[in-house]
Amino acid sequence: MPVEQLRELVALHGVRYERWPEYHYQDGKKIAVGFSLELYGIHRGQVHLSPGDHESMETFEDLRRIAESVLPREDRSTRYEVEPYDPSLYIDPRKPERSEVALKVKIFHRLGFFHPVDESEEQRLAEMERGLEELGVRRGR
C-alpha cells in the first residue's frame, strides 16, 4: 500500500501506539523476553463502537495494514507475531468517551520465546517506531 494511503488511514482512525516490555519468570527471576507494540484506533472518527461490530473489524484490518508496513523485511534474528483480531474494545482512562480497537505485534528473539531480549530486538522495535512516526502515528494514547 502506498505511503500516502497509509497516512490517510492513520489520520482517519486517529491511530496511536504504545510499547511495552514482555516478561517471563524463570526460576523466580523476571526476564525481559520481548516487546509488545500496540496500535490503537477508532473507526473513522466514531468514538462509540460495539465489540466485534463491522466497524471494529474494518478498523482492525486498517491497523493491520499500518503495522505490516513497518515490519522489517530482512531476515534477522527477530520474530514478529501480529495477534489475531480481538473483539474487545479499549478505553483510555484519560479519554473514557473513546472506545478503541487494538492490534498487538509481539517482538521476540528468533531462537525462542524464553531467550532474553538483546540489541537486535531493541533495534527492530526502534525501526518500527520510526516507521510509525513517519506515517504520522503518535506515541501515547
User: Do the domain assignments include residue 42?
Assistant: yes
CA distance 123 to 51: 34
User: Do the domain assignments include residue 93?
Assistant: yes
Q: What pLDDT does residue 110 have?
A: 79
User: Do the domain assignments include residue 62?
Assistant: yes
Higher pLDDT among residues 38 and 112, named by residue: 38
User: Do the domain assignments include residue 12?
Assistant: yes
User: Do the domain assignments include residue 66?
Assistant: yes
- Number of separate domains in the chain: 1
Q: How confident is the model at residue 98 (pLDDT cuts 50, 70, 90)?
A: confident
The three grid cell numbers given for residue 126, joined into one nine-digit string: 526502534
User: Do the domain assignments include residue 141?
Assistant: no
- Identify the domain containing residue 46 by its residue range: 3-136
Q: What pLDDT does residue 111 have?
A: 77
Does 74 score more than 80 pLDDT? no
CA distance 95 to 93: 5
